Amino acid sequence: MKVLVIGGDGYCGWATALYLSNRGHDVAILDNLVRRHWDNQLQVETLTPIAPIQQRIQRWYELTGKTIDLYIGDINDYSFLLESMRQCEPEAVVHFGEQRSAPFSMIDREHAVMTQANNVLGNLNLLYVMKDEFPDCHLVKLGTMGEYGTPNIDIEEGYITIEHNGRKDTLPYPKQPGSFYHLSKVHDSHNIHFACKIWGLRATDLNQGVVYGVLTEETGMDEMLVNRLDYDEVFGTALNRFCIQAAIGHPLTVYGKGGQTRGFLDIRDTVRCIEIAINNPANAGEFRVFNQFTEMFSVADLAMKVKQAGIAMGLNVEIQNLENPRVELEEHYFNAKNTKLIDLGLQPHYLSDSLLDSLLNVAMKYKERVDKKNILPKVSWRR
């Protein structure tokens, strides 16, 4: 299948592009490389050394004999997007090409506006190209479990059936996003749903949990193919931060009480979920939603798991609670459904099996690259 991976220079996109290429798909990457620019602006750097995208793709060809086409540009530039897709002629588009950090979107007005303009308008451009030129192409869009927020009822997969005043209907699940970034994802979902309904497009919205891990079969082939491991407060995750802190002897910094609970999955499951989605496309006019995660943990759970794994490696690991810079419930109910991808064949990897191999060992290998100035939070939701 011809697959265009938008945002293929990023964390999930790079692993996905290599995975699909390795399994025989004809893969192209479209990316404006802005994530590298944002790192420079914020003076942060991923723990693992990331080569230029052209060198990464060339190394992949040298190792496998498989080519990946590259289109460098911005999907907010409609003419560029249109021409790139005409050249590529994709049967499926995997859309990772959005600003994906909640803290980034909360830095100030400029970052909030940029996040929503980049995400919502770029996605809308893509929908129009598909309508006008590729109506049978299947859109696989990366959403987020953060669209749902933390409701005091079970989270269904995209839709909920309700009865009200004697009548019954199945409606999109209510959204309670917690940042301007998560709000942009809600806008995306609404726009895609609308486009499927009125234009007959086919789309799968993958409401993904927090992804962890560095190594897939492909990214582990060569040092030049290695994936990102972000630990700073803007683009990093709590789990990544804890592993880096354990590696350098810094206390694990838990925001608030640590009861914040989310869905998680291994990067190896992310790429497999994408494969499942493109191999089992939505029907024309269908807006399909999968909750893409395999386990649920609180922040405190993660800190304790990292502490135990660190102690097993001979590290001295302590846990420290900080004042929470975010506005969020620190103790709440959280129970989300995630059966659709399992039913289609996903066989999950679990954190207990990969914490040492895919996170702590990588953190130890590259710990000399840690910039301690970027460990503690500086962005406040209340500003």
Give the DSSP per-residue string, 313-358.
TT----EEEE---S-S-SS----B---HHHHTT-----HHHHHIII
Q: What share of the chain is helix, strand, coil (3-state, %, to 5)?
A: 40, 20, 40
pLDDT of the residue at 331: 96
- Residue 202 pLDDT > 80: yes
Q: Which of 46, 48, 144, 216 is catalytic?
A: 144
State how far the Cα of 246 lies from the Cα of 229, in Å rounded to an integer.
15
CA–CA distance, 32 with 97 (Å, rounded to integer):
9
pLDDT in tens, 322-359: 999 999 999 999 999 999 999 999 999 999 887 887 89
Return the number of other C-beta atoms located less than 10 Å from residue 363's C-beta. 24
Has residue 297 got a pLDDT over 80? Answer: yes
**Mean pLDDT in the chain?**
97
Q: What is the pLDDT of residues 87-101, one digit of tens each?
A: 999 999 999 999 999
Q: How far is CA 257 from the centre of its chain?
A: 25
Is the C-alpha dihedral spanning 50, 58, 87, 290 positive or negative?
A: negative
Quick: pLDDT tens for 36-67. Answer: 999 999 999 999 999 999 999 999 999 999 99
CATH domain 2-374 topology:
Rossmann fold (3.40.50)
Catalytic residue among 71, 173, 181, 255: 181
Neighbours of 287 (CB within 10 A): 23
Q: What element of type H or E holds 362? A: helix 361-365
Q: Give the residue from 275, 296, 261, 243 showing the smallest Cα distance to 347.
A: 275
CA torsion, points 132, 182, 34, 47, in degrees to nearest 10? -140
User: Is 181 known to be catalytic?
Assistant: yes
The end-to-end CA distance of the chain, in Å, is 47
pLDDT digits (tens, 9 = 90+) for 5-22: 999 999 999 999 999 999
Spatial separation of the C-alpha atoms in residues 119 and 128, rounded to whole Å: 15
User: pTM for this structure?
Assistant: 0.97
Residue 353 has a pLDDT of 83
Residues above pLDDT 90, as percent of the chain: 98
pLDDT for the residue 355: 87
Identify the pLDDT of residue 357: 77
Q: Give the Cα separation of 349 and 262 in Å (integer).
A: 17
d(CA 328, CA 256): 10
pLDDT bucket at 238, cuts 50 / 70 / 90: very high
Which member of 48, 115, 173, 185 is catalytic?
A: 185
Read off the pLDDT of each residue in 133-144 and give the average, rounded to a whole number.
98
**Tens digits of residue pLDDT in 66-91:** 999 999 999 999 999 999 999 999 99
| 261 catalytic per annotation | no
Known active-site residue 148: no
What is the SS3 assignment for 280? coil
CA separation for the pair 349, 274 (Å, rounded): 15
Q: pLDDT category, 383, cuts 50, 70, 90?
A: confident
- Residue 168, pLDDT > 80, answer yes
Domain ranges in the chain?
2-374
**What pLDDT, on a 0 to 100 scale, did the predictor assign at position 146?**
98
